[in-house]
Amino acid sequence: MEEYSGNAAHEAHSPTVQRSAIEHEEQFIAHNYHPLPVVVSQGDGAWVTDIEGRRYLDALSAYSALNFGHRHPDLVSAAVAQLGRLTLTSRAFHNDQLGPLGEELCALVGQDMMLPMNTGAEAVETALKLARLWGYRVKGVDDDSAEIIVAAGNFHGRTISVVSFSDDPTARDGFGPFTPGFVTVPYGDAAAIEAAITENTVAVLIEPIQGEAGVLIPPAGYLEDIRRITTANDVLFIADEVQSGLGRTGDTLETTRNGVTPDLVTLGKALGGGILPVSAVAGRKDVMSVVRPGEHGSTFGGNPLSSAVARAVVALLDSGIPQANARWLGAELHKELDALVGHGVVAFRQVGLWAGIDVDPELGTGREVCETLLRHGVLAKDTHGSTIRLAPPLTITDDELDYMCAALSAALTELA
């Protein structure tokens, strides 16, 4: 591991300007987040700069929305070019970017058709609606009785329907009454899925890797078993790849990396290139075709600006370079994290450039670890106790990865 010398700029400024900006935000913005005490004003590649001139390596990438880093030139160019032509029409009219995006994205992820939306939560809601429609119109399930199997520990968004099948009290408590029609089974247990299927089951919705839960990786063969079970029982397999997809794990999709093709896949975050929200559901034509005009939509979904940016994202992924970088540097990340086990790290789970790291709770909470990392020039996010997540841009370099890992080592040493 490269020797970490720290960043003098992180101690050289008065906190007055930053504290004032944070207090201003807290006065007018609802407190639905608990951000780290940093006010970012610029970004470039894997780095951001705060309003006092301090630089940080962004090891969160906006939960994988910034897979290609801040202000990737190809993506910015696509956005600027489209801004000069046309930004929004609504789906009341056709535009010249959506059709090409549909063809290119479907080719990238191995599906037949796609339905564009904006946020990841909207993509999941869309997939749930498509599954229910398919169940009633194709499978013949009785009206208002469709069931969808989900996994414990899931995180698919924050809409009422989605938190209805969350078991995270922070996401769920206080928001009832909840939407019925969901059956929860343990994550990683394919036999439990098979046992839960009834004549009313229309779909199984699974994160190939549970990100919010701490980058939980299921047992080998889990996704293949789900594919086998759902096919045998005429049930749809919905893979939520909003975080795991588009290069993060070293392949275009985590399901692809496991040799599996779901019936529906939800995409978001990185699809907008870190510039604007873009999401989609892609899937089999016979499933996608169940929806009829007027039954579902979005004013901004599929707009020409977001479509142009998403096309540039697809082009980057078509090259295979981001995926290869995630594989190559993911192997290096594994070595660096493995060396920290027993030195502040209890355990970790890692695939590609995505890691959930369980820090010794005697050193502090995950929040305290991230606050210490902040002082060492790295931005990261905690989840569930003393677990932190690392998900740097897929464009990160060897030297930047070394910087991130050295900063983590220094932060753990400081806490010890």
- Interval 187-197: pLDDT, tens: 999 999 999 99
Q: Which of 50, 58, 155, 382 is catalytic?
A: 155
The model's pTM: 0.95
Q: Binning pLDDT at 50, 70 and 90, where does residue 15 land? A: low
Q: What is the pLDDT of residue 16?
A: 85
Residue 240 bears catalytic tag: yes
Q: What is the pLDDT of residue 7?
A: 52
Contact 283, 263 (CB under 8 A): yes
Task: Write the DSSP assignment of 287-308 as a string of letters.
Answer: HHTT--TTSS--SSTT-HHHHH
> Quick check: helix, strand or coil at residue 401?
helix
Q: Mean of the pLDDT values across residues 194-217? A: 98
Look at residue 14 and tell me whether its pLDDT is greater than 90.
no
Question: Which residues of 241-379 form beta strands (DSSP E)?
Answer: 264-267, 279-283, 345-351, 354-359, 378-379
Q: Give the model confidence (pLDDT) of 346-403 as tens digits.
A: 999 999 999 999 999 999 999 999 999 999 999 999 998 999 999 999 999 999 999 9
Q: Which of 50, 240, 263, 358 is catalytic?
A: 240
Q: Give the model confidence (pLDDT) of 159-169 as tens digits.
A: 999 999 999 99
Q: For 202, list phi and psi in degrees, rounded to 5.
A: -110, -25
Residue 203: both structure tokens together: 């779909």
Look at residue 8 and tell me whether its pLDDT is greater than 90.
no
H or E element, residue 103: helix 98-109
Spell out the residues 6+ positions from residue 81 whose beta carbon is closer than 8 angstroms to its own.
308
Longest dimension (CA), the chain: 67
Look at residue 3 and tell me whether its pLDDT is greater than 50.
no
Work out the burial of residue 51: count CB atoms within 10 Å of its CB; fewer than 13 is exposed, 13-18 middle, 19 or more buried.
middle
Calpha distance 93→30 (Å, rounded): 36
Handedness of CA 395, 209, 40, 80 (dihedral sign): positive
Calpha distance 240→267 (Å, rounded): 7
Contact 393, 56 (CB under 8 A): no
Residue 335 bears catalytic tag: no
Q: Give the model confidence (pLDDT) of 91-140 as tens digits.
A: 999 999 999 999 999 999 999 999 999 999 999 999 999 999 999 999 99
Calpha distance 80→99 (Å, rounded): 20
Look at residue 233 and tell me whether its pLDDT is greater than 90.
yes
H or E element, residue 382: strand 381-383
Look at residue 68 and tell me whether its pLDDT is greater than 90.
yes
Calpha distance 262→203 (Å, rounded): 11
Average pLDDT, the chain: 96
Question: Helix and strand tally (H, E) in the chain?
Answer: 15, 15
Q: Which residues pair with 379 in a beta bridge?
A: 58
Give the other-Cβ count within 10 Å of 368's Cβ.
Answer: 16
Residue 269 bears catalytic tag: yes
Q: Mean of the pLDDT values across residues 269-288? A: 98
Residue 33 DSSP class: -
Look at residue 318 and tell me whether its pLDDT is greater than 50.
yes
Q: What is the pLDDT of residue 4?
A: 47
Q: Give the model confidence (pLDDT) of 293-311 as tens digits.
A: 999 999 999 999 999 999 9
Residue 298: both structure tokens together: 């979005």
Residue 106: both structure tokens together: 């479907």
Q: Mean of the pLDDT values across residues 215-230? A: 98
Q: Binning pLDDT at 50, 70 and 90, where does residue 9 land? A: very low
Residue 216 DSSP class: B
Q: What is the pLDDT of residue 410?
A: 98
Helices (H), 197-320: 222-232, 254-257, 285-288, 304-318
Residue 200: both structure tokens together: 């009313």
Residue 287: both structure tokens together: 């499933």
Work out the burial of residue 416: count CB atoms within 10 Å of its CB; fewer than 13 is exposed, 13-18 middle, 19 or more buried.
exposed
Q: In what side-by-side order are the strands of the sheet with 147-151?
A: 113-117, 279-283, 264-267, 236-240, 201-206, 147-151, 182-185
Contact 264, 239 (CB under 8 A): yes
Look at residue 153 and tell me whether its pLDDT is greater than 80.
yes
Q: Which of 225, 251, 269, 348 is catalytic?
A: 269
Calpha distance 336→4 (Å, rounded): 13
Bridge-based pairing of strands 387-390 and 354-359 is antiparallel
Look at residue 12 and tell me whether its pLDDT is greater than 90.
no
Q: For 129, list phi and psi in degrees, rounded to 5.
A: -65, -40
Q: Mean of the pLDDT values across residues 249-271? A: 98
Residue whose C-alpha is closest to residue 19's, from 46, 57, 51: 51
Measured CA to CA in angstroms, residue 378 lies from 11, 20, 372, 396 at distances of: 14, 22, 9, 13
Q: What is the pLDDT of residue 337?
A: 98
